Amino acid sequence: MTKQYFKELAAYNVWANNIVCNWLEALTEEQWNQEIVSSFNSIQQTVLHVISAEKAWLERFNHNPSIVWLQPVYKGTKNEHIALWKETSAGLKNLIDTFDEDTLNTNLNFSRLNGDAYSMPYYQLFAHVFNHSTQHRGQLVTMVRQAGFTGVTSTDLLAAYRLPLQ
Q: Please report, in range form, the residues annotated as the binding site for a divalent metal cation.
A: 49, 132, 136
Answer yes or no: are the C-beta atoms of 147 and 36 closer than 8 Å. yes
Max CA pair span of the chain: 48
Q: How far is CA 74 from the centre of its chain?
A: 16
Q: Round to whole Å and give the CA distance between 80 and 162.
A: 30
Answer yes or no: are the C-beta atoms of 65 and 56 closer than 8 Å. no
Answer yes or no: are the C-beta atoms of 47 and 32 closer than 8 Å. no
Annotated binding site: 49, 132, 136
Q: Round to whole Å and give the CA distance between 32 and 20.
A: 13
